[in-house]
Amino acid sequence: MSTVTVSGRVDEAVKRIADMHIRKLGYTQAEVIAGVWRYIADTGSIPKGVLKVQSRNDSSPSLKSLRDKTPKCVALAAMSADDIKKELADRE
């Protein structure tokens, strides 16, 4: 099995405390990270409690309604010069 390196940033104090708990539990950072990534790959979801922010799927009804009403757009990089000219001409 080939592996890749995954990196990210965490608060220094959080890292220090988490390292202590991970060692106490008998794991390494690599094992914990690999376990979380495996869980996501297997289930298609993030383990409960891992993130302290709501996912887009858990948003309030009013926020979901606003998101649904917001016009969809095409990135400029994906548009031809003619598409960009038409888009700009159609704006008020």
Q: Indicate yes or no: pTM above 0.85.
A: no
Would residue 2 count as lying in a domain? no
Would residue 79 count as lying in a domain? yes
Would residue 32 count as lying in a domain? yes
C-alpha span between 57 and 2 (Å, rounded)? 33
C-alpha span between 24 and 58 (Å, rounded)? 34
C-alpha span between 87 and 76 (Å, rounded)? 10
Query: Which structural domain, as residue segments, surrounds residue 50?
Result: 12-90
Would residue 44 count as lying in a domain? yes
Would residue 54 count as lying in a domain? yes
Would residue 4 count as lying in a domain? no
- Tens-binned pLDDT, residue by residue, of the chain (92 aa): 788 998 888 889 889 999 999 999 999 999 999 999 999 999 999 888 887 655 555 567 777 788 788 877 777 778 889 988 888 888 77
Residues 6+ apart with CB under 8 A from 67: 56, 59
Q: How many domains does the chain have?
A: 1
Rounded to 5 degrees, φ, ψ at 4 are -130, 160
